[in-house]
Structure 1
């Protein structure tokens, strides 16, 4: 795996980020590389991360549970160490496809699923497929945390709200492009309430800057529109499960 980072402010990853990268593997799906980690033995738990972070968010959970379960976590396309293509819809349906493809590649036929933030809508799409009988693995149980699945009552950052209107879309792009590694690091400190070490904040910042994720934020924010459009499917699947 290549540790060269051509994004703002970073030519190479820090030792912590390099170690994180080496702890995982890559799977190619439809020509896109997905980074994932696979730790522990026992019942499988699929972990789906949130926005704007990566599957590194689950590292502490994996540290605590790997003696009891097999923990599979992956970076969605556009996040973390997975590819961040320019010509990509960043649809939650595609992210659910990636989750299924990963489990299939690992010969996993049944799993518990835990999700956070953005990942909860990928999770509810898996629930919908399960209800339809089209899901490629047996979904044993679900844990959904802090998801803002009810998009119409969620409280999103102003910059993300700008990306929801065609009238302010270019303003959102300008806002996202103003960021610097230092400002991204400060954002991660605020999001984690100052509970992470400087090393951990640097790791999260480098993962965010990898392949210039800030240039994909406008497209990635489309997930909020999808939550409105497919609310009956996704909220309904959660209610019926």
Structure 2
């Protein structure tokens, strides 16, 4: 089953804005029903979800934003970017939209870390999370294998590397992390680059990359929250992703009680782009199971 894409030009026209701590944030909302918050990854934006947007909006109230420093949202230069602040942003967006129900979360990459923070806040009674599904991301710092560009951005010369970041550099990075048969088209690469380049995003890439050491600081708190087992969790993971692929899922199965994991063979770091129909199938299966849990059969 092929899912219809939403061209970036159309996606942008459907955006709305709100102000978070003095900065303009682009967001999207559609559908009715239980709220579903989609949280994108680094270095891209909420357009990552465009294949899934309409099918999910047919069943849920779907909400997404370009986080601070990403996509078409504000990218202040003199700002210290923080995963904790991005979680604040997600909660501010929900408040802006008057969402009072428990929220389901579907996250990817950098967004996984934001989702982990929201999950930790749930157990601290500072958020109300109904379920969480993670796509490829660095859930455990010990399994995250950064690509060369990420390592360079983390170096003392990161500010220079970021300013020199180009479409060609993005293409080289994506060639490493997508599945061999599911790499983006030239048109898709143009669109991904447009979102990175928007509002001179190269100037802050070395600041955004600080999420990697931030993950290490929060590791125990976040993993402990995942181990609680009270909020339903699932991982849907592209297996051949060199950053957070099958090796991350193996660690997840070691650490998380009763782990619910799905591996997608031959799929890389962006399963919602590379195999959106598979992601949709496994996500809806997860959600349907929450509504109708398997019946226990008595044995005699």
Range of TM-score over shorter length: 0.7 to 0.9
Q: Which residue of 2 aligns with 1:143?
A: 133
CA distance in 1, matches of 2:151, 2:217: 16
Say which of 118, 122, 145 aligns to 1:126: 118
Count, aligned residues: 220
Spell out, residue by residue over 1:22-65, the C-alpha distance to the aligned partner (whole angstroms, 9 max, x if none): 11111101101111111122221100001111011111111222
Question: 21-30 vs 60-69, which deviates more?
Answer: 60-69
Spell out, residue by residue over 1:100-126, the C-alpha distance to the aligned partner (whole angstroms, 9 max, x if none): 000001011121011110111110110
Q: Which residue of 2 aligns with 1:75?
A: 66
Partner of 2:199: helix, strand, or coil?
A: coil
Matches within 5 A, 1:29-40: 29-40=20-31
8 Å Cα contact 1:50-1:118 kept in structure 2: yes
8 Å Cα contact 1:128-1:233 kept in structure 2: yes
State the 1:183 CA deviation: 3.6
Matches within 5 A, 1:1-241: 16-110=7-101, 111-135=103-127, 138-164=128-154, 168-170=155-157, 172-185=158-171, 187-188=173-174, 191-193=177-179, 194-241=182-229
CA distance in 2, matches of 1:139, 1:212: 34
8 Å Cα contact 2:40-2:110 kept in structure 1: yes
Question: 54-63 vs 182-191, which deviates more?
Answer: 182-191
State the 1:176 CA deviation: 2.5
8 Å Cα contact 2:28-2:63 kept in structure 1: yes
8 Å Cα contact 1:116-1:146 kept in structure 2: yes
Q: Which residue of 2 aligns with 1:3?
A: none
Structure with higher Rg: it is: 2
CA distance in 1, matches of 2:25, 2:200: 16
State the 1:84 CA deviation: 0.5
8 Å Cα contact 1:93-1:125 kept in structure 2: yes
8 Å Cα contact 2:152-2:161 kept in structure 1: no
Q: What's the TM-score once normalised by structure 1's chain length?
A: 0.85
Partner of 2:88: helix, strand, or coil?
A: helix
State the 1:235 CA deviation: 1.5
RMSD of aligned alpha carbons: 1.8
8 Å Cα contact 1:188-1:205 kept in structure 2: no
8 Å Cα contact 2:147-2:173 kept in structure 1: no
